[in-house]
């Protein structure tokens, strides 16, 4: 579904982390350009 797409994975500290989103995107065929986990308060 994401084959050939580039993804920026922004996660939340209290929710889903950036590396987890990046792993899912890579498994779906995307290239991850940036990964971060931030605190959105």
Predicted local confidence at residue 36, as pLDDT: 97
d(C-alpha 38, C-alpha 16), whole Å: 10
Predicted local confidence at residue 31, as pLDDT: 97
**pTM given for the model:** 0.86
- Among 14, 13, 19, smallest CA distance to 35 is for 19
Contacts for 27 with CB less than 8 Å, ≥ 6 apart = none
Report, as ranges of residue numbers, the positions in the chain whose pLDDT lies below 50: none
Q: Where are the domains of the chain?
A: 6-38
Q: How many CB atoms lie within 10 A of CB 7?
A: 18
d(C-alpha 41, C-alpha 28), whole Å: 30
């Amino acid at each position: 579904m994401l084959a050939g797409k580039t993804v920026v994975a922004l996660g939340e500290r209290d929710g889903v982390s950036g590396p987890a989103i990046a792993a899912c995107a890579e498994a779906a065929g995307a290239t991850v350009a940036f990964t971060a986990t931030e605190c959105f308060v």
